[in-house]
Amino acid sequence: MIIEKLLLQVLIVLSPVLIYSVISNGKKEPRFPFLMVFYMLAGVLCIVFSYQTFGLYWDLRYVIVVCAFLYGGVRTGWVVFAVLMLTRTIYGGDHLPFAYLCITSAALAAYFFQAKYQQVVTKWKKVLFTIALSLVPVVIQVTITMILVSQHALPVMDESVLASYLFYYVLVIIIAAGFITLLHEAVNERRRMQEEIIRAEKFNTLAGLAASIAHEVRNPLTVVKGFLQLMKEDDKSTNQQYFSLVLNELGRAENIINDYLSFAKPELKSVENVKLLETVQEIQALLQPYAIKEGVHLNELHDIEEGLLVKADRNQLKQALINFVKNAIEATPNGGNVSLIVQQTGNMVTVHISDTGKGMNKEELSRIGSLFYTTKDKGTGLGTMVSIRIIEAMAGMVTFKSKELVGTTVSVSLPVQKEPATIHSINDKKKEAM
């Protein structure tokens, strides 16, 4: 009987994600907190349809609490926790304090590890993470049950039956936690793919428009600039200062047009195997004086081999990374920190560029990489778009994470190339030079 009840509980646990995925299909994050409401209803249903025996309630409410924190956020988690506590109070029972303790332990475990959970990359690690958090209150419940049995405080006629119930209960908890995590990750992955398709369509439209306009404007601009240079050489009057001013402004306009062309179609002139760590260290050395001038500490940390290679256009890669690092330095106040962290995950290597600036809210973060959008006082927003296009042209990916008053992290991921048989590290080169 307990198996049938627990399987029904699994269906109840999975229902919030299934219904939410249907409602949010092809749409942005809904303004109404549907996920919170669905989790509240699922938690109540878990208690209503729980299997009651030996004076205990056998249900999967802990999985609901944990996932509400991990996927709905802190506010959703505490609201669901409060609703479950109220529902369990209404049902009462002899062991109500123990029920409070178990639900609270699930909420606290999920709350304290929620930030750590967001840093987990692979879905299978997330599955294990969710299972581990869901088992925290279960361990407490099983321990309390065994203590009550040993003190003859539970009406248990057959301890072997209770042991089988505990085994099935733990097994179903693991299955439910694993399935709901996989469902959540599938929904999130589908949303990311839809956003990527929409962004790619926008990019293609804007790229064609940018290329056509830039070509048409650059030709007459080049002619005007050339004639002004000739006039400057011939003119010996006091108008020299005006020629310099006009030429500087024309040069700035030309740079903007070149950015448009780079955005429209990034040109990878020389694709080769590049030592990523060496490139990152060069960028740090290049921008260190600029960081010092701005009063910012620029640090570099790595957890990869020095000879690790990526297939890229070295100059274009440096251009993109320099742009991201400069943005981070400019967004960081005096005395702040900018970190370049290089890590390898599977067949991908990622450069995390983190700053301690003012950060961005969700709306600002969603607009990063959009044409003409920038958080700077001066700028067109083209630099970030060009850098993203360059990385994508190298089969890479750029992601942004930000939190207000905490800072922003730009993650540049590129596929790793197989290392050649003979490769010298940076330290080897230094030794050879000596």
- Residues whose CB is less than 8 angstroms from the CB of residue 74 and which lie 6 or more positions away in sequence, other chains included: 111, 114
d(CA 7, CA 60): 10
The pLDDT of residue 257 is above 80: no
- Going by pLDDT thresholds of 50, 70 and 90, the confidence category of residue 74 is very high
The pLDDT of residue 114 is above 70: yes
List pLDDT tens digits, range 132-186.
999 999 999 888 888 888 877 777 657 788 888 888 899 999 999 999 999 999 9
Asked if 177 contacts 10 with a C-beta cutoff of 8 angstroms, the reply is no
- Residues whose CB is less than 8 angstroms from the CB of residue 409 and which lie 6 or more positions away in sequence, other chains included: 352, 353, 354, 355, 400, 401, 402
- Going by pLDDT thresholds of 50, 70 and 90, the confidence category of residue 65 is very high
Which position has the higher pLDDT, 364 or 73? 73
Tokens of 175: 């299955």
Strand intervals (E) in 44-89: 51-53, 56-58
Asked if 13 contacts 182 with a C-beta cutoff of 8 angstroms, the reply is no
Q: What angle do helix axes 159-234 and 61-72 make, rounded to 10 degrees?
A: 10
Q: Which helix (H) or strand (E) holds 312?
A: strand 309-313
Q: How far is CA 292 from CA 6, 47, 331, 340, in A?
A: 61, 59, 14, 16
State the Cα angle at 266 between 216 and 389, rounded to 5°: 115
Mean pLDDT of 24-45: 81
Categorise residue 349: left if φ over 0, alpha if ψ from -120 to 50, beta otherwise: beta
- Going by pLDDT thresholds of 50, 70 and 90, the confidence category of residue 424 is very low
d(CA 236, CA 163): 101
Mean pLDDT of 26-33: 66
Tokens of 181: 């995590």
In 3D space, the residue among 46, 45, 39 whose CA is nearest the CA of residue 18 turns out to be 39
pLDDT at 422: 36
Name the one residue in this structure whose structure tokens are 């850098």.
387
The pLDDT of residue 89 is above 80: yes
DSSP assignment letter at 418: P
SS3 of residue 379 by DSSP:
coil
Which position has the higher pLDDT, 200 or 43? 43
* The CA-based dihedral angle spanning residues 249, 255, 258, 264, taken in that order and rounded to the nearest 10 degrees: -100
pLDDT at 133: 94
Mean pLDDT of 279-294: 91
d(CA 354, CA 410): 6
Q: Which residues pair with 302 in a beta bridge?
A: 342
The pLDDT of residue 99 is above 80: yes
d(CA 9, CA 119): 29
Across the chain, what does the average pLDDT equal? 81
Q: How many CB atoms lie within 10 A of CB 152?
A: 8
Name the one residue in this structure whose structure tokens are 């060069």.
282
Name the one residue in this structure whose structure tokens are 């088992």.
135
Asked if 403 contacts 358 with a C-beta cutoff of 8 angstroms, the reply is no
Q: How many CB atoms lie within 10 A of CB 7?
A: 13
Asked if 309 contacts 419 with a C-beta cutoff of 8 angstroms, the reply is yes
Asked if 244 contacts 231 with a C-beta cutoff of 8 angstroms, the reply is no
d(CA 75, CA 89): 21
Q: Domain 271-433 is in which class?
A: alpha beta
Q: How many CB atoms lie within 10 A of CB 298?
A: 23
Mean pLDDT of 293-305: 86
Tokens of 96: 């109500």
Asked if 240 contacts 276 with a C-beta cutoff of 8 angstroms, the reply is no
Phi, psi for residue 426 in degrees, rounded to 5: -65, -40
User: 3.40.50.1000, 1.10.1760.20, 2.60.40.2550, 3.40.630.30: which CATH number matches 2-198?
Assistant: 1.10.1760.20
DSSP assignment letter at 297: E
The pLDDT of residue 38 is above 80: yes
List pLDDT tens digits, range 384-399.
877 888 888 888 999 8
Instruction: Name the most confidently modeled range: 6-10, 179-183, 264-268, 305-309.
Output: 179-183
**pLDDT over 90, % of the chain:** 33
List pLDDT tens digits, range 307-341.
788 988 888 898 889 889 998 998 899 999 999 99
d(CA 380, CA 259): 10
Rg (Cα) of the chain, in Å, rounded?
Answer: 29
